[in-house]
Amino acid sequence: MGRLDPFLDPRPPAAAAASEPSPPRAGLGGSAKAKAGGRKPLAPSQPAALGSAFKLTGVVQTGGRSEAIVQNGDRIGSLVLGERGGDRHPLLPKGWIVESIDSQAAQLRICIVGQQKCRLFPLS
């Protein structure tokens, strides 16, 4: 006889099936969440609005990398490709990402994360 399958359950099929947990049945208790098949899907959060105070004031190229100099209200700073807005970077509103920085045309393109909605900012 050959080698035994290490993943084979040695118990007879009826005993193996009886020991596995069964899903909750309708009318026999269990939460509505379990009956529905698990967690509720999360509603997508809306990105923060990008106000008229957001402006591209310059583009610099350092070490082969472009940086956009931006002003958002009373804040001034730089953004790089792929940077996401939020608490860590208050220059860019939450839900937005730097899609491209064109140093030749002096333009910044930012988009809503996961969507096709983008805005192009020329040098102000």
Phi/psi of residue 37, nearest 5 degrees: 100, 20
Q: How many domains does the chain have?
A: 1
User: Does the pLDDT of residue 94 top 80, yes or no?
Assistant: yes
Q: What is the domain extent for residue 74?
A: 54-122
Q: Is residue 68 part of a domain?
A: yes
**Residue 83: inside a domain:** yes
CATH of residue 58: 2.30.30
- Specify the higher pLDDT residue, 90 or 27: 90
Distance in angstroms (rounded) separating the CA atoms of residues 60 and 48:
27
Is 36 part of any domain?
Answer: no
pTM of the model: 0.60
Does a structural domain hold residue 66? yes
Tens digit of pLDDT for each residue in 2-56?
666 655 666 666 555 555 555 555 544 544 444 455 554 444 566 777 778 899 9
Q: What are phi and psi of 106, to 5 degrees?
A: 55, 60
